[in-house]
Amino acid sequence: MYRIIARVVVLVGLVCVSVLASLANAQISPNLPNPIAAPNPLTTTLSIFRSNMQDKIMKSAEAMPESKYSYRPTKDVRSFAEILNHVGDISYILCSNAKGEAPPAMAGAKGSKAQIVAYLKGAFDYCDGVYSGFTDAHLNDPADFFGFKTNKMFILTQAGNHDALHYGNLVTYLRLNGVEPSGGWF
């Protein structure tokens, strides 16, 4: 009797796993970039992640109405506009650090939606140039992270990590204002 129950449980379990695996696979885009065959797979992986996060941030910046750029859920947190300006600032700082040069001159006050979107685009374009010049052989080169000695891979990882962190903030701000985030391929 127990053998029959065990066989049925195992069979049902295998069917469930098979169905769930096929459903999970169907949710992953066939267009997902695969860096394995790239000449510099590690750098390419970092660049794909950063690029995806920056695309989501740009779509968030464009989706939020300008009248809501001053929105902040509580008085103790940054406004939507302040988060976007911060992301642009840190992108310039981290990417110039990885490149081994001083940050480019950052524009002054960035208050309107058009100014902030342009500033973000400039920061992200600057980072694109930095990432495109990297090879895996340079990832362990020495770097400085706000006074701490590390390597370039850490700096490049932090650029994507920082973007992902603040994209989470932006999604919350968008939803609290009735705006649907665009999502993306992952």
CATH of residue 63: 1.20.120.450
Are 19 and 45 in a shared domain? no
Assign 3 a pLDDT band (cuts: 50, 70, 90): low
Residue 26 has pLDDT above 90, yes or no: no
Q: Are residues 3 and 75 in the same domain?
A: no
Q: Give residue 182's pLDDT band: very low, low, confident or very high (50, 70, 90).
A: confident
Please tell me the predicted confidence (pLDDT) of residue 110: 78
In this structure, what are the phi and psi dihedrals at residue 29, rounded to the nearest 5 degrees?
-65, 135
24 falls in which pLDDT band (50, 70, 90)?
very low
Q: Sign (positive/negative) of CA torsion 154, 156, 162, 168?
A: negative
Q: What is the mean pLDDT of the chain?
A: 84
For the ranges 20-29, 124-133, 161-170, 172-181, the lowest mean pLDDT is seen at 20-29
> Is 185 inside a domain boundary?
no
Supply φ then ψ for residue 176, to 5 degrees.
-65, -20
What is the rounded CA–CA span in Å between residue 63 and residue 182? 8
Question: Do 89 and 153 fall into the same domain?
Answer: yes
Question: Where is average pLDDT lowest: 5-14, 43-52, 89-98, 151-160?
Answer: 5-14
Query: What's the pLDDT tens digit per position in 80-103?
Result: 999 999 999 999 999 999 999 988
Domain encompassing residue 10: 1-30
Question: Domain for residue 183, yes or no?
Answer: no
Q: What is the 3-state secondary structure (H, E, C) of 122-151?
A: HHHHHHHHHHHCCCHHHCCCEEEECCEEEE
| pLDDT, tens only, 100-145 | 998 887 766 678 999 999 999 999 999 999 999 889 999 999 998 8
Q: Is residue 148 part of a domain?
A: yes
- Residue 84 and residue 13 share a domain: no
Phi, psi of 9 (to 5 degrees): -60, -45
| Residue 9 and residue 52 share a domain | no
pLDDT, position 34: 81
Position 74 confidence tier, pLDDT thresholds 50, 70, 90? very high
In the chain, % of residues over pLDDT 70: 79
Residues 2 and 46 in one domain: no
**52-66: pLDDT as tens digits:** 999 999 999 999 999
Q: Are residues 7 and 57 in the same domain?
A: no
Please say if the pLDDT value at position 19 is more than 90: no
63 and 120 co-located in one domain: yes
Which two three-digit tokens encode residue 65? 């109405």
**Integer Cα distance of 95 and 103 in angstroms:** 8
Same domain? 26 vs 81: no
